[in-house]
Amino acid sequence: MYPRFSETFVLHEMLAREADGEQLEVFSLRLPVDGHFHAELSRLRAPVTYLPVGRSAGEVWEAVRGALADGLMGPHHPGVQALLGEEAGVATQALALAREVRRRGITSLHAHFASVSTSVARLASLLTGVPFTFTAHAKDIFHEEVADDDLARKLADAAAVVTISDHNHHHLRDRFPEAATRLHRVHNGIDLESFGYSDPAGRPAGVVAVGRLVEKKGFDTLLDAVALLRAEGVQAPLTLVGAGPLAPALAEQRQRLGLVGVQLLGPMPQHEVRRLVAGAAVFAAPCRVGSDGNRDGLPTVLLEAMALGTPCVATPVTGIPEAVQDEVTGLLVEPDDAVALAAALRRLLEQPLLRRSLAVRARQRVEEGFDVRRQAAEVARLTVPAPVGGAR
Does domain 8-189+372-383 match CATH 3.40.50.2000? yes
Q: What is the pLDDT, as a whole number, of residue 50?
A: 96
Name the CATH topology of 193-369: Rossmann fold (3.40.50)
Which strand (E) or helix (H) includes residue 163? Answer: strand 160-163
User: Is it true that 8-189+372-383 and 193-369 share their CATH fold?
Assistant: yes
| Per-residue confidence (pLDDT) for residue 217, from 0 to 100 | 97
Cβ 311 vs Cβ 355: under 8 Å: yes
**What's the pLDDT tens digit per position in 372-383?**
999 999 999 998
What are 287-330's pLDDT values in tens digits?
A: 999 999 999 989 999 999 999 999 999 999 999 999 999 999 99
CA dihedral 320→11→138→290, nearest 10 degrees, is 80
Domain regions of the chain by residue span: 8-189+372-383, 193-369
Burial class (CB in 10 A: 0-12, 13-18, 19+), 83: buried
Nearest-angstrom CA–CA distance, 56 and 43:
37
In this structure, what are the phi and psi dihedrals at residue 213, rounded to the nearest 5 degrees?
Answer: -85, 80
Query: What is the reported pLDDT for 391?
Result: 43
Beta-bridged to residue 63, according to DSSP, are none
Cα–Cα distance measured from residue 243 to residue 262, given in angstroms and rounded to the nearest whole number:
15
Report the percent of the chain where pLDDT is more than 90. Answer: 79
Residue type, 189: G
Question: What's the predicted TM-score (pTM) here?
Answer: 0.89
Rounded to an integer, what is the distance from CA 215 to the centroid of its chain? Answer: 16
* Per-residue pLDDT reduced to its tens digit, 95-130: 899 999 999 999 999 999 999 999 999 999 998 999
Report pLDDT digits (tens) over 333-377: 999 999 999 999 999 999 999 999 999 999 999 999 999 999 999
- Whether the per-residue pLDDT at 26 is higher than 90: the answer is yes
What is the average pLDDT across 213-230?
Answer: 97
H or E element, residue 4 = none
Whether residue 159 is predicted with pLDDT greater than 50 in this model: the reply is: yes
